Amino acid sequence: MPRTTESAQHPADTDTAGLRSRVRDLLAAHDPATTPRDTFLRARFDAGLAWVHFPEGLGGLGAPRALQSVVDAELEAAGAPDNDPRRIGIGLGMAAPTILKYGTEEQKQRFLRPLWTGEEVWCQLFSEPGAGSDLAALATRAVRDGDSEDAGWTVDGQKVWTSQAHLARWAILIARTDPDAPKHRGISYFVCDMTDPGVEVRPLRQITGEAEFNEVFLTGVRIPDSHRLGAVGEGWKVAQTTLNNERVAIGGGRIPREGGMIGKAAATWRERPELRTHDLHQRLLGLWVEAEAARLAAVRLGQQLTAGHPGPEGAGIKLAFARLAQEISGLEVELLADEGLTYQDWTMTRPQHVNFTGRDAGYRYLRAKGNSIEGGTSEVLLNIVAERVLGLPAEPRTDKDVPWKELAR
C-alpha cells in the first residue's frame, strides 16, 4: 500500500521557495529537539525531502537533483538529524538508484523508505574469489525452484570483499541463472535477505587490522521471484546501473576546497615546518593542484547527474580518487618520517564505515591501498574510460559468444 505523503498538501511548485516552505512545515510538525530520530527521518521521507529528485511517494518530489542542497542546508541549520550516510552508503549510493530504475512499484515501496532512514543496512554481493576483475565470469548459481514463471530461486556460491555484510539486512546480488549463455547474458539480479539461514558471513581481516570487509557463503539461500530486479538473464545490464553509481559514490563525493586527504597533508605541512624539504614541497604542490582539479571534475559530474543516471565518466572520477589517495597518503607518511610509520589503532574491529581523515597517517596509508580495487580495479576502469568515454578500439575478446560453462576457470 503506497504511503500518503505530506507533499500532497503543498502547491505543486518545487522551486527553492517551495522547498523551504516544505521544510518549515516539516519542522513545525516534527520539532527535531523533541521528535525521536527515526520518527523524524520517516516524516522527512514521507514529506518528499529525502531525495527531492525521486518521484512523489518514494521520498521525493520529482524536483531537480540540484535542489537537494537547499533542503539539506535548511535542515542542518535547524539541528535536524541526518541518516548517517557513511553507515548506509551502499544502500544510498548503489541499491537505491538501481531499485528506482528497475524495481517494481511493490519493491520501491517496500525497500526505499527503511533504506533511506537507515533502519535497514544494505551490502553488495558481487565480487567472487574467482571473478573479481572479471565480474561477468561469476559462478554463484541461482536455480528456479519450479517450472512456473513466478517460482522462487535457490542460490549457492561464495562472495568476497563484501563491505558491511556483518551489519546488513539486505544485499544486492548477481548470480548465474543460465550457464549455457555467454557470461554477460546468463546473469540475473536479486535482492537477498541476509538473515536467511543459508547466509554465512565471515570477517576478512585487512592490513589495517580491522575487518571492514567480509566473505559471504550462500548455501541453499531461498529468494522469492518477487525479489528479482529486471528480467531473467539481464542482470548484467541492471548491474551496470549499480556499478556506475558506485564509482561516483566512491570518487565523486562533494567535499570543500582542500578537503579530504589533501587537507590532512596540507595541515601537517603547515603545522610542522621542521619536516619540510624542497622535494616534498614540490610534490605537495603538484598533488594539491591535481586534487583540486579532481574535486572540480566531481562537482561538474554531479551537475551532469541532474539530467539522469551516471554514465561511464564516473570511472574516470573513481580512478583519480584512488590514485590521489594513495599518492597523498604516501607523501604524508614520508613527510612525517618515523612518525608516519606509527599506527595507534591496529586492533581487530568491525567498523560501520571507513574514516580516512579521522585516523592517523599510518592508517590512511594502509587503507588507501584498497582504493584501486574497490568499486572496480583501476585496470578495468582504464579500459572503461578508453572504450566508453574516449571511443578507443575495444580490446579483443575471445570469450564474447562462448557459453559460460565452456570457459576455463
In a domain, 45, yes or no: yes
d(CA 179, CA 325): 39
* Chunked mean pLDDT (size 10), the chain, 409 residues: 42 75 96 97 97 95 89 96 93 95 97 98 94 88 89 96 94 98 96 98 89 94 98 96 78 74 92 92 95 86 64 79 93 90 75 72 88 82 85 85 88
What is residue 253's predicted lDDT score, i.e. its pLDDT?
63
What is residue 8's predicted lDDT score, i.e. its pLDDT?
41
In a domain, 348, yes or no: yes
What is residue 134's predicted lDDT score, i.e. its pLDDT?
87
Residue 27's domain comprises 1-82
Query: Domains in the chain: how many in total?
Result: 2
End position of a domain, from candidates 35, 59, 82: 82
What is residue 303's predicted lDDT score, i.e. its pLDDT?
67
In a domain, 145, yes or no: no
In a domain, 187, yes or no: no
In a domain, 263, yes or no: yes
CATH number at residue 297: 1.20.140.10
In a domain, 196, yes or no: no
In a domain, 221, yes or no: no
Residues known to be catalytic? 246
Which residue in the block uniquely carries the three cell numbers 554477460?
Answer: 184
Which residue in the block uniquely carries the three cell numbers 567535499?
Answer: 255
pLDDT tens, position by position, 324-333: 999 999 999 9
End position of a domain, from candidates 27, 53, 82: 82
End position of a domain, from candidates 82, 97, 124: 82
For residue 349, the one-letter residue type is: T
In a domain, 204, yes or no: no
What is residue 408's predicted lDDT score, i.e. its pLDDT?
82
Task: Answer yes or no: are the C-beta atoms of 118 and 155 closer than 8 Å.
Answer: no
d(CA 200, CA 124): 14
d(CA 119, CA 13): 30
What is residue 13's predicted lDDT score, i.e. its pLDDT?
54
What is residue 10's predicted lDDT score, i.e. its pLDDT?
44
